[in-house]
Amino acid sequence: MTTTQKSRARILIADDEPQIREMLHELLSDDYDCQEVASAEEALALLCTESFQLVLSDITMSGLSGLDMVPQVLKLAPDTVVIMISGEQNIESAIRAMRVGAFDYVTKPFAIQHVEAAVERALDYQALRAAKRYYENFLEEIVRQRTAELHKTNQTLRTLIAAAPLAIFALDEAARLTMWNPAAAQIFGWTEAEVLGRTLPLALVADEAQQPTWLQAALRHEPTSGDEARVRRRDGTEVDVNVWTAALTDADGAGHGTMVVMADISERKQAEARINFLAYHDTLTNLPNRVLFEDRLVQSLNLVQRHSQMLAVLFVAPDRFKKFTDTLGHAAGDQLLCAVAERLRGNLRDGDTVARFEGEEFSLLLSSINGTEDAAAVARWIQQALSPPFKVEGHELYLTASIGIGLYPYDGADAQSLLKNAGAALYRAKQQGGNQYQFYTADMNERALKRLALENNLRRAIDAEEFVVYYQPQMSGDTGRIVGMEALVRWQQPELGLVPPSDFIPLAEDTGLIEPIGTWVLRTALEQTKRWQTRGLPIQRVAVNLSARQFQRPDLAGMVAGLLAETGVSPNCLELELTESSIMHDTTGAIAVLRELQQMGVRVAVDDFGAGYSSLAYLKHLPIDVLKIDQAFVRDMTSDPNDAAIVMAIITLAHSLKLRVVAEGVETEEHLRFLRLLRCDEMQGYLFSRPLPATEFEHLLEGQQTDVGQNLSALHV
């Protein structure tokens, strides 16, 4: 596309972030006629009255989303092309965008050259698509004309054919070329003078051994409509095209030739191939991803089972990888992963697969081995391959790896069993210090049995009333006084002692026991709150965590209302905490449940905000009252500018939405000062108190009755 052509192209920029709109306008306005809107609704309204070749749109906007807008754009303006822009850097988002009709997908933060290249491709494709639509109609008109009229001098028709961006040529009954337009000459490399009067160059056909459907139709003077084909240029390179053929007839209907129209669809085919590649490959290392690895494992298992052979699955994880990223940054970590991937790929046998399984873990499939020693030899080769230093950003890094090995048929008869057991072997290699390989062994089953025993003890613990509730105070950022408390469950196991939540909550979630445990915790916390309030102790509310399973209960609101009535606690004294993931699992259903709870007077808090996949587009629609800042951001906010910016943004966002903010994990005076400067509403953490059993927490409340609460440090425990 020439500069003159670019200047005529009109681009509509749709984004609800003014900075992004201004940046794109400044980047593109020198070459294109750009116009900006702040929402999908404005974009659709403008497209009703004005024409644009390209729409650059954000995926997530207030009101109608970019994904919902795309089909409406294509309905209003079929020749307009859409590029989606999003901060979601994953293949699923790109695939969703392509499925609704987007031509391309650009991620934020974006590089200037990526945006320029994407716009260039999109406008070229738009011009081709518009021309294609025009010439499909145009070709029908040509066919309707009688042959006698075609032979007359029709300056208008010749001008259109000469100016067409599609390759257009005609064959007579002897397959000799009678027309060859400039686009055909440009695409295929033969000039009009070289081909007119000659038979169609056989070199034009990519597979000369077999005539493609379109060529057979052209030689028989039969019509085809938009079939895909591959043809060869004069220089030997190949190009993907759509082909239309139509018979040329005279006034009596007798055929005397064929017209052929070809549209270059190479860029579209390349985009489709790229999307397909990304669906099954890791974007960082270009290795197969988990999906493709598991598919190949299933295929290999089917093969070795028929021939009674062995295969092996190896998991490889670099040791101390987090230390490298913490020291050098995530960009250096990505470079290191790419270098590891290259070495692992280096000496694989044909038929074997290396993949990036997840995170820093790689997986290898040895599709056929003679015995365990073959797998061990590969593990030793991996150790040797990784032993030379890696050069990353001017540093020499020495890397070791932990390797777990699972063997078919000994360690599993199906793909999932092999993967699980190879993962267990990897875990053991890490537990024993790394820099070694481990086969899956029977003692790993012993650990699985211990987990089963823990599950059985957990089931008995409910009936034996072995659970206790601890309470951690929530402090006012303004007054320094206790304004609430969070109820936290502990397991007092007779043989194991006090079992921390991290050891049994995930197990309770997996087994479904979290529901009866959660109900017991809620009832106990409400009963204790009522006792303290009756005694006149200063406790305004209690916060209780709800698990994802509890939140999905169809009778959740009824259960909560029943417990409030049973204990006599006012609904506005109860605050239910949910994680982002449990809410975003089904936003429509979640909104209905949350609204029902709020209508009862119960407050709702989003726990560990920022640690999940915060959907700001939905946040403003959620009936919630509180955001709890995840302690991972609070911990380093006084030393890490990024964490400080995140905390500041969350507090600003919450206050703008009229939500209360609670910061978790407040452990130092610096944390306290920083949060008070940001006007954080409430705080909790070890600076004030660890979670305490009810008797000790009661002493804390009694002490506050006589303390004016001007000094937060007086509450340290």
pLDDT, tens digit (0-9, with 9 covering 90-100), for 282-332: 889 999 999 999 999 999 999 988 888 899 999 999 998 888 888 888 888
**Which residue did the predictor score with more confidence, 542 or 496?**
542
Q: What share of the chain is helix, strand, coil (3-state, %, to 5)?
A: 50, 25, 30
Phi/psi region, residue 497 (left: phi>0; alpha: psi -120 to 50; beta: rest), is left
Beta strands in 181-237 (DSSP E): 224-232
Mean pLDDT of 441-454: 66
Q: Which of 188, 186, 129, 190 is nearest to 163 (CA)?
A: 186
Question: Which residues on neighbouring strands pair with residue 428, listed in sequence order?
Answer: none
Report the distance separating Cα 191 and Cα 184, nearest Å.
8
**Predicted local distance difference test score (pLDDT) of residue 143:** 60
Mean pLDDT of 671-683: 94
CA atoms within 13 A of residue 48's CA, in its CB half-sphere: 6
Q: Give every CB contact of residue 561 below 8 A, 6+ residues apart in sequence.
A: 571, 600
User: How long is the chain?
Assistant: 717
Mean pLDDT of 266-272: 83
Q: What order do you get walking across the sheet with 361-369 strand by strand? A: 353-358, 361-369, 310-318, 401-408, 436-439
Report the distance separating Cα 684 and Cα 475, nearest Å.
6
Residues 258, 216 contacting (CB under 8 angstroms): no
Phi, psi (rounded to 5 degrees) for 318: -60, 135
pLDDT digits (tens, 9 = 90+) for 76-115: 988 899 999 887 777 777 788 888 888 888 888 777 788 8
Asked, as a colleague might, if the bond just before 109 is cis with ω within 30 of 0, I would say yes
Residues 634, 671 contacting (CB under 8 angstroms): yes
Long-range contacts of 270-277 (CB under 8 A, 24+ apart): 271/98, 271/103, 271/104, 275/91, 275/94, 275/95, 275/98
**Predicted local distance difference test score (pLDDT) of residue 150:** 46
Which range among 89-93, 120-124, 199-203, 464-468 shows the weakest confidence by mean pLDDT? 199-203
Q: Which 8-state DSSP code applies to residue 203?
A: G
Residue 43 has pLDDT above 80, yes or no: yes
Mean pLDDT of 10-19: 92
**Which residue did the predictor score with more confidence, 463 or 688?**
688
Return the ∠ at Cα 616 (arms to 546 and 661), rounded to 5°.
Answer: 55
CB atoms within 10 A of CB 132: 20
First vs last Cα of the chain: how many Å apart? 71
Tell me which residue has tokens 């499925």.
Answer: 99
Banded pLDDT at 708 (limits 50, 70, 90): very low
- DSSP per-residue string spanning 348-397: PPTT-EEEEEETTEEEEEEEEESSHHHHHHHHHHHHHHH-SPEEETTEEE
Residue 204 has pLDDT above 90, yes or no: no
CB atoms within 10 A of CB 153: 6
Banded pLDDT at 19 (limits 50, 70, 90): confident
Return the ∠ at Cα 649 (arms to 655 and 675), rounded to 5°.
Answer: 75
Q: How far is CA 254 from CA 170, 212, 573, in A?
A: 16, 25, 90
Q: Which of 489, 589, 490 is nearest to 548 (CA)?
A: 589
Q: What order do you get walking across the sheet with 167-172 strand by strand? A: 177-180, 167-172, 255-264, 238-249, 224-232
Q: Give every CB contact of residue 670 below 8 A, 6+ residues apart in sequence.
A: 638
- Residue 149 token pair: 């009229």
Radius of gyration of the chain (CA): 34
Identify the burial level of 104 via C-beta atoms within 10 angstroms of its C-beta, where 0-12 means exposed, 13-18 middle and 19 or more buried: buried
Mean pLDDT of 673-695: 94
- Residue 380 token pair: 């030793």
Instruction: Please report the domains of the chain, with CATH numbers, ordered by start residue.
Output: 3-126 (3.40.50.2300), 145-269 (3.30.450.20), 281-440 (3.30.70.270), 451-705 (3.20.20.450)
Residues 338, 388 contacting (CB under 8 angstroms): no
CA atoms within 13 A of residue 636's CA, in its CB half-sphere: 8
Return the amino acid letter for 484. Answer: G
pLDDT digits (tens, 9 = 90+) for 605-623: 998 887 655 556 667 788 9
**Predicted local distance difference test score (pLDDT) of residue 689:** 92
**Which residue did the predictor score with more confidence, 58 or 705?**
58
Which range among 128-132, 164-168, 502-506 shows the weakest confidence by mean pLDDT? 128-132
Which range among 133-137, 562-566, 577-581, 587-591 shows the weakest confidence by mean pLDDT? 133-137
Q: Give every CB contact of residue 344 below 8 A, 6+ residues apart in sequence.
A: 316, 354, 362, 364, 382, 385
pLDDT digits (tens, 9 = 90+) for 383-427: 999 999 999 888 888 999 999 999 998 888 899 999 999 998 998
Residues 663, 629 contacting (CB under 8 angstroms): yes
- DSSP per-residue string spanning 278-340: HHHB-TTT-SB-HHHHHHHHHHHHHHHHHHT-EEEEEEEEETTHHHHHHHH-HHHHHHHHHHH
Q: What percent of the chain has pLDDT over 70?
A: 89
Report the distance separating Cα 25 and Cα 44, nearest Å.
19
Which range among 87-96, 477-486, 682-691, 696-705 shows the weakest confidence by mean pLDDT? 87-96
Mean pLDDT of 460-472: 91
Q: pTM higher than 0.75 for the full model? A: no
Residue 147 has pLDDT above 50, yes or no: no
Report the distance separating Cα 315 and Cα 406, nearest Å.
9
**Predicted local distance difference test score (pLDDT) of residue 133:** 73
